[in-house]
Structure 1
Amino acid sequence: MAHAHVDLNQLWQRLGSAVEAHPGPLPTPLVVVDLDAFDANAADLARRAGGTPIRVASKSLRVPALIERALRHPGFSGVLAYSLREALWLHGSGTSEDIVVAYPTVDRGALAELVASPSAAAAITLMVDDVAHLDVVDSVRASKAVPVRLAVEVDAGLRLGGRHVGPKRSPLHDGPAVAALAKVIDGRAGFRLVGVMTYEGQVAGVPDDVPGRRARSLVVRRIKQASVAQLRQRRREVAEALAPYGPLELWNAGGSGSVETSAADPVVTEVAAGSGLLVPALFDHYQSFRARPAAYFGVPVTRRPGPDLATVHGGGLVASGPAGEDRVPVPWAPPGLHLTTLEGAGEMQTPLTGHAAALLRIGDLVWFRHAKSGELFEHTATVHLVRGDRIIDSVPTYRGLGHAH
Structure 2
Amino acid sequence: MDDRQRYDRATAALEPPFAILDLAAMRANAADLLRRSAGKPIRVTSKSVRSRPLLERILAMDGFRGIMAFTLPEALWLASNGFTDLLVAYPTTDRHALATLAGDPVAARHVTVTVDSPAHLDFIEAAVAGVHPRAELRVCVDIDAAYVTLAGRYRAGVLRSPVRRPHDAADLAAVIAKRPGFRLTGLMAYEAQIAGVGDAPPANALRTQAIRLIQARSAKDLILRRGLIVNAVRQIADLEFVNGGGTGSVERTAREKAITEVAAGSGFFHPRLLDFYRRVTGHPAALFALPVVRRPAADTATVLGGGYLASGPADPSRLPQPYLPAGLRYAPHEGAGEVQTPLLGQAAEDLRIGDRVWFRHAKAGELCERFDTLHLIDGDTLVESIPTYRGEGRTFL
Fold equivalence (TM over 0.5): yes
SS at match of 2:144: coil
Q: In structure 2, which of residues 265, 269, 274 is the aligned counterpart of residue 274 of structure 1?
A: 265
Q: Which residues of 2 match residues 13-162 of structure 1 at below 5 A?
A: 13-20=5-12, 22=13, 25-26=14-15, 28-94=16-82, 96-139=83-126, 140-142=128-130, 143=132, 145-161=134-150, 162=152
How many residue pairs match? The answer is: 392
2:292–2:353 contact (8 Å) kept in structure 1? yes
Cα distance in 2 for residues equivalent to 1:377 and 1:274: 13
1:141, CA displacement in angstroms? 3.1
1:67, CA displacement in angstroms? 1.0
Q: Which stretch has the larger CA shift, 349-358 or 143-152?
A: 143-152
2:306–2:339 contact (8 Å) kept in structure 1? yes
Match of 2:370 in 1: 379
1:339, CA displacement in angstroms? 0.7
Cα distance in 2 for residues equivalent to 1:291 and 1:221: 21
Cα distance in 2 for residues equivalent to 1:368 and 1:125: 36
SS at match of 2:11: helix
Match of 1:10 in 2: 2
Deviations 1:245-294 (A, max 9, x none): 13210000000010001000000000000001101111112111213111
Match of 2:233 in 1: 242
Deviations 1:158-191 (A, max 9, x none): 0112122101110111111111111110011000
Match of 2:357 in 1: 366
1:214, CA displacement in angstroms? 1.9
2:274–2:280 contact (8 Å) kept in structure 1? no
AA of the residue aligned to 1:64: R
**Identity in percent:** 48
1:154–1:198 contact (8 Å) kept in structure 2? yes
Segments of structure 2 that go 5 or more residues without pairing to the other structure are none
SS at match of 2:250: helix
SS at match of 2:276: coil
Deviations 1:30-56 (A, max 9, x none): 111111111100011011100000000
Match of 1:213 in 2: 204
Match of 2:339 in 1: 348
Cα distance in 1 for residues equivalent to 2:138 and 2:378: 40
Cα distance in 2 for residues equivalent to 1:345 and 1:282: 17
- Tell me the TM-score normalised to structure 1 length: 0.95
SS at match of 1:119: helix
- Tell me the TM-score normalised to structure 2 length: 0.97
Where do 4+ consecutive residues of structure 1 move more than 4 Å?
A: none
Deviations 1:295-347 (A, max 9, x none): 11100001111111111111111111111010111100011111110111101
1:144, CA displacement in angstroms? 6.6
1:145, CA displacement in angstroms? 4.4
1:382, CA displacement in angstroms? 1.0
Cα distance in 2 for residues equivalent to 1:316 and 1:348: 7
Cα distance in 1 for residues equivalent to 2:211 and 2:133: 47
Cα distance in 2 for residues equivalent to 1:12 and 1:315: 18
Cα distance in 2 for residues equivalent to 1:201 and 1:63: 24
Match of 1:5 in 2: none
2:103–2:133 contact (8 Å) kept in structure 1? no
Q: In structure 1, which of residues 184, 190, 195 is the aligned counterpart of residue 181 of structure 2?
A: 190
1:208, CA displacement in angstroms? 0.8
| 1:315 is the counterpart of 2:306 | yes
- Distance change (3 Å), C-alpha of 1:144 and 1:217: farther
1:29, CA displacement in angstroms? 2.1
Q: Which stretch has the larger CA shift, 340-349 or 236-245?
A: 236-245
Cα distance in 2 for residues equivalent to 1:160 and 1:66: 41
Cα distance in 2 for residues equivalent to 1:193 and 1:253: 17
Cα distance in 1 for residues equivalent to 2:168 and 2:337: 47
Q: Which residues of 2 match residues 274-313 of structure 1 at below 5 A?
A: 274-313=265-304
1:144–1:190 contact (8 Å) kept in structure 2? no
- C-alpha RMSD of the superposition: 1.2
Segments of structure 1 that go 5 or more residues without pairing to the other structure are 1-8
AA of the residue aligned to 1:156: A
Q: Which stretch has the larger CA shift, 54-63 or 212-221?
A: 212-221
1:43–1:73 contact (8 Å) kept in structure 2? no
